Structure 1
């Protein structure tokens, strides 16, 4: 067995401690949530509560005409298909919902920690609310930090993929544009799947891109931060000094540097991996918090991460938004309205000679 350097051992120890800390934090939050739920039920017991069960989904609510059961029946298949076996968590993590009468001035019913909704809200809106607030246990910080948010259902997948398509076409990041053109390594870069010691150079490799990023997104920040100490560097960057632009971007606090693509793109990638991997995919995704994200996605999907990325790109390109078509009479209508406005302007008193 090869001897390991003290530095490497220390690094691995820190990683293990971080994983353990994340695990303890999740358990602490879960215990607090359960305690809050019990406290809420005790407070509401005088007025009575109902528990709605659909699959593993639980809703603790105040008796009302709200169509929560129908909404739960719509939401549960989506939740179950995303989280698989981990969706059983919801048996111990109920929604707390307090419907109220929107047509009365009486005080709204109280249920501590509950979401208040008008009881006449339609089923589709209630189902949307359930999908957007699934009380599943949060994954580890590494996954959340990479993703930029929780692993959640994508309510409108077609529109979401179309929005990512627009990102690939219009993003100021060279890796994103190259991904659109089919450079798969740049797709991985745009999705921040690689670990780089210098994300500035990896995510924004061209000098023009770095200068535009400083000028358009951080000019005000660099003008006033540190009592204006970075103004000279900002001026040098604007004058064309790439080294000044690069150093300014490297000085940004951790997590502030814009990534090539947004949360929506990475969320779509996660959904591809979970769909490929079947019912246990989400469990595999969250089971190894100390593993690189690319490896976790591959484990979840059951195929290589390159295959996941390739399918993701294919689905994004397929979701290209339909171009807006102008009817044959459109230009003539525009000319007609232009003529009308021109006549109105000429008839105005401003243009008359007294």
Structure 2
């Protein structure tokens, strides 16, 4: 797997996605996502990590406008800012307005590509239809463009693949097909929700390399949702760490993984043995996350935190700025960082 592309980092950045104070409920008064705010810039790759149930997929589904029945967005804004300067609040969109965004300005790739493809149609026809509807291409041009896209995503013998059905392709090939469909209309934003989880390590590396190349060539913004910190370390410029519906830390990937400022991030690194953390015997994070929607007076991680003090549960804990590029939802992030520096000095 390659490091985040330098060319994408060096390109001029403009905000593609801005999420401000996002709340998502999954039932009356049951807040599953709480005051989530972040920005994703053109050409940037951001990793969204956390345990299952932390709110990662709900956040992405909110951006895509595909929340399940019963889920609502009672507060917050999701702004999609295009290259031409348009600023659209997606939370106000009607179904007709979404048709002009989803699949065109915003693409998505998910964990099980076979479940998102029609088994009764060839993959070439499905991509061609996306091009005809999304880009208005005539039938012959759509077919030629589909073959070009299959070539671009690394499918061998793309002319043959065009006429194959989903059941005739491997998982890695199906993921490449889904990526070709997702980027066919040159979106500004691509959301990859656990897109490499079900793939073996070799195919995973190839898919990550493909996503990195596409964002470099097309300048699209990539929001990569995963539970695998190694994937984020290799692929993302920035990292957002979610716990129990909240962002508890964010910042440049290398900095956060080297010196986590929130105890939850530290715990994730310890059990994953990523970065500078030495590989140890299998560890777990003691305890369990709070029930979805549970209202707690203070830090939601306090009962699992080795550093918790009385003030941690006295009242809400804000997401504090740590310099210009980092934030942590902790009352003592500076102290935690100091302790890490001291430990490294004595190592």
TM-score (norm 1): 0.25
Larger Rg: 1
Q: Give the TM-score normalised by the residue count of structure 2.
A: 0.25
Larger RCO (alpha carbons 8 Å, 6+ apart): 2
